[in-house]
Amino acid sequence: MSFLDYYRAVLARKCVGLRSDQLQLTVAASTLTLGRLLRHMAFVEDHWFQSVLLGRPLPDPWLGADWDAQPDWEMDTAVDFTPTELIEQFDEAVARSRAAIDRLDIETTAANEGGGEPTSLRWILVHMIEEYARHCGHADLLREAIDGSTGD
């Protein structure tokens, strides 16, 4: 759990103190922004821990999204939120995930398998570490391009 919390904190720290326009800054030909990353990871937290692990419906705002019409809806709509709102959404999703994890054994099998192999909480945690590690690398590049800030 400590590696996952480390990467969660890195992503959040990369976004602290930035304005809305800075959270929406792109680098090179990419459409990726720190704001899009925050919103994406809030969705990923809820997807894996609420929907897959616990078998619950996705909480709002994800439940009402038209994912077929707009597959990157969570990222595309990040521009509609202030930095405070984006960080609050992220923090709330992480808190829901932590609450789910605290109640379960590491070998707990996910409730929502989708017809595939059983997925354990252990597998989800390793996957989330990989997801955060990749996106924190993106966040490093984006933050450095915004104001020269480096390190975690």
Domain locations along the chain:
2-147
How many Cβ atoms are within 10 Å of 29's Cβ, its own excluded? 5
Q: Do residues 34 and 22 make contact, with C-beta atoms less than 8 angstroms apart? A: yes
Query: What are the tens digits of pLDDT across the range 14-63?
Result: 899 999 999 998 877 789 999 999 999 999 999 999 999 999 999 999 99
pTM equals 0.85
| SS3 at position 79 | helix
pLDDT at 114: 63
Q: Find out if CATH 1.20.1530.20 is the number for domain 2-147.
A: no
Per-residue pLDDT band at 94 (split at 50, 70, 90): very high
pLDDT at 142: 92
Query: What are the tens digits of pLDDT across the range 78-87?
Result: 999 999 999 9
